[in-house]
Amino acid sequence: MMVRSGNPALRLGTLMSAALLLLLSGGGIGWTQSAPPSLGLQQQGVQSAPSPATPASSAAPAREENPGLINEMGKLFDKLPSILPPIKSPSETMNDLSRLAKPSTMVSGRVACPLSSNGAPDCKQAADQLCQGKGYKEGKSLNADSAEKCSAKVLIPGRQRKPDDCRTDTFVTSALCQN
């Protein structure tokens, strides 16, 4: 039996049900529960329990705790509400998330990304410049645009194009700004 639910309580309940079925069914396999042979030896300090036929006391004896699997699983279920956090309503969850999120605003503009030391465009710096121009502290690039910029030599008819005649410039066109 395979359970693929994302709900941990459902998975635990299914696992517990399967374990209970295995324990209760027995399936023809039996383990003896008889006491081991004593070989005529007696343990010191062990006294025989009074038989229930003797009216030593009128109160019922306290039930001994069974250290079996089912008993331990029952203890787990008794402790479960104290272990799990309380379930919040959707509005409480949204309020918690809104407290965690920083207020931000999307701005539009066009700022060129300067080249970094490895030759790649540094659009983080351009996003910061775009946001600072709008009165914010820093920003993250949301949208970028690239354009090829060539010298006028490329327009000369019949001239062979050289690798350094054109370069690609990258621009940040929108950014998410934060204070």
Structural domain includes residue 64 = no
DSSP secondary structure code for residue 117 in this structure = T
172 and 143 in contact (C-beta within 8 Å)?
yes
**Domain total for the chain?**
1
Residues 6+ apart with CB under 8 A from 25: none
Q: How many CA atoms lie within 13 A of 142 on its CB side?
A: 15
Structural domain includes residue 114 = yes
Task: Out of 13-17, 22-26, 153-157, give the one with best mean pLDDT.
Answer: 153-157
pLDDT higher than threshold 70 for residue 72? yes
Structural domain includes residue 104 = yes
Q: Find residue 105's DSSP bridge partners.
A: 177
pLDDT higher than threshold 90 for residue 143? yes
Structural domain includes residue 130 = yes
123 and 172 in contact (C-beta within 8 Å)?
yes
pLDDT higher than threshold 90 for residue 163? no
The mean pLDDT of 56-68, rounded to a whole number, is 63
pLDDT higher than threshold 90 for residue 111? yes
Q: Which of 62-76, 115-129, 158-172 shows the lowest per-residue confidence on average (mean pLDDT)? A: 62-76
Q: pLDDT category, 44, cuts 50, 70, 90?
A: low
122 and 113 in contact (C-beta within 8 Å)?
yes
Q: pLDDT category, 47, cuts 50, 70, 90?
A: low
Q: What is the pTM of this model?
A: 0.42
The mean pLDDT of 89-94, rounded to a whole number, is 84
Mean per-residue pLDDT of the chain = 76
Structural domain includes residue 149 = yes
Q: pLDDT category, 114, cuts 50, 70, 90?
A: very high
Q: Which of 63-67, 78-82, 106-110, 175-179 shows the lowest per-residue confidence on average (mean pLDDT)? A: 63-67
Structural domain includes residue 69 = no
105 and 148 in contact (C-beta within 8 Å)?
no
Structural domain includes residue 46 = no
pLDDT higher than threshold 50 for residue 3? no
Task: Out of 33-37, 94-98, 152-156, give the one with best mean pLDDT.
Answer: 152-156
The mean pLDDT of 155-179, rounded to a whole number, is 89
104 and 178 in contact (C-beta within 8 Å)?
yes
Domain boundaries, position 102: 98-156+164-178
Rounded distance, CA 76 to CA 71, Å? Answer: 9
Structural domain includes residue 23 = no
Beta strands 166-178 and 104-112, pairing class: antiparallel
